[in-house]
């Protein structure tokens, strides 16, 4: 990731199997990332949990391990009102020693962060940034319009397929799960977009969309299947970065045949040389 030129590291995100680790495992992961990165880029750690109390526990562990900020989606399991979410974020912002980045990812947590909620939290200083993985360009634009006058407030997209579009709309960057496999290409996409070279940016974006086929193998073809994340791990294994594509239970792992299909996708697009 660092060799690819990324501007920061987000550990314990959705791609990182955050929902299946124990607090102790999460602490060790953040601690290890901090040691490896050694201050070269900022480190953000995910602390999404089912309650304010649980999120605070993870947040304090992440801060103790050395994370510079925490990333927090709304609680999952229960359906929460926007007023409840406001209090959730405010309490965590007040009690943690590091800043909070809000994370809109309703497909995983059921509770969406409405633009008015983000604006309120941003203006009062409870959050310093937003990662939006909602997939709705209309809502992303409203996030941007409501916060564009706030100096330093950052809006990031987590939608791998829409990075060029989001940056043209005024987003400040991206946090793509596929960036674990192709960090250089996403940095290139960011740089081209910032430079206004949207034609070339679109070509890079479309190549990355084709690469996402690594997540559509076997049972991963089921919409939002947990095993889709094994496609990322399989790609990293083929690149020689990790040793196994096995997922933490109960998340499914790809078979050897499915992993071979991942390799074929990478070779066909030039991300892996045979």
DSSP string, 155-204: EEE--GGGHHHHHHHT--EE--GGGGT-HHHHHHHHHHHHTT-HHHHHHH
**Residue from 28, 60, 79, 131 carrying the catalytic annotation:** 131
Residues 187-235: tens digit of each pLDDT: 999 999 999 999 999 999 999 999 999 988 765 555 445 667 889 999 9
pLDDT < 70: residue spans in the chain:
218-227
Alpha-carbon radius of gyration of the chain? 18
Q: Which residue reads 């399991």 in tokens?
A: 77
- Give the CA distances from residue 133 to residues 28, 125, 177, in Å, rounded to whole numbers and listed in that order: 26, 22, 11
The answer to whether 92 and 52 are in contact (CB under 8 A) is: yes
Nearest residue to 213 via CA among 167, 182, 240: 182
- The pLDDT value given to residue 222: 52
* Token reading at 43: 């480190």
Q: Tell me the C-alpha distance between 44 and 63, whole Å.
A: 10
Q: Is 103 an annotated catalytic residue?
A: yes
Handedness of CA 125, 21, 228, 5 (dihedral sign): positive
Taken in order of first residue, the domains within the chain and their CATH numbers are 9-157 (3.20.20.70), 216-274 (no CATH)
Q: Is 131 an annotated catalytic residue?
A: yes
- The pLDDT value given to residue 249: 85
Q: Name every residue whose Cβ is closer than 8 Å to that of residue 39 and which is 6 or more positions away in sequence.
A: none
**Residue from 89, 103, 143, 186 carrying the catalytic annotation:** 103
């Amino acid at each position: 990731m660092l060799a690819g030129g990324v501007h920061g590291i987000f550990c314990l995100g959705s791609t990182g199997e955050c929902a299946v680790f124990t607090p102790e495992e999460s602490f060790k992961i953040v601690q290890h990332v901090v040691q490896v990165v050694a201050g070269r880029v900022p480190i953000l750690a995910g602390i999404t949990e089912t309650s304010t109390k649980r999120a605070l526990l993870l947040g304090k562990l992440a801060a103790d391990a050395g994370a510079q900020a925490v990333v927090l989606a709304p609680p999952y399991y229960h359906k929460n009102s926007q007023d409840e979410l406001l209090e959730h974020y405010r309490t965590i912002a007040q009690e943690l020693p590091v800043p909070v980045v809000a994370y809109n990812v309703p497909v995983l947590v059921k509770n969406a962060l409405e633009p008015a909620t983000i604006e309120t939290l941003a203006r009062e200083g409870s959050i310093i940034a937003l990662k939006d993985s909602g997939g709705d360009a209309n809502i992303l634009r409203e996030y941007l319009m409501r916060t564009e006058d706030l100096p330093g407030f950052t809006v990031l997209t987590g939608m791998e397929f829409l990075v060029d579009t989001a940056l043209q709309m005024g987003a400040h960057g991206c946090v793509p799960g596929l960036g674990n496999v192709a960090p250089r290409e996403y940095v290139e996409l960011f740089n081209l977009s910032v430079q206004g070279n949207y034609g070339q940016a679109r070509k890079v974006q479309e190549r990355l969309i084709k690469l996402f086929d690594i997540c559509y193998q076997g049972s991963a073809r089921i919409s939002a299947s947990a095993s889709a994340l094994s496609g990322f791990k399989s790609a990293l294994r083929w690149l020689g970065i990790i040793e196994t594509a096995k997922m933490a239970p109960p998340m499914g792992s790809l078979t050897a045949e499915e992993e071979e299909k991942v390799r074929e996708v990478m070779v066909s697009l030039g991300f892996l040389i045979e």
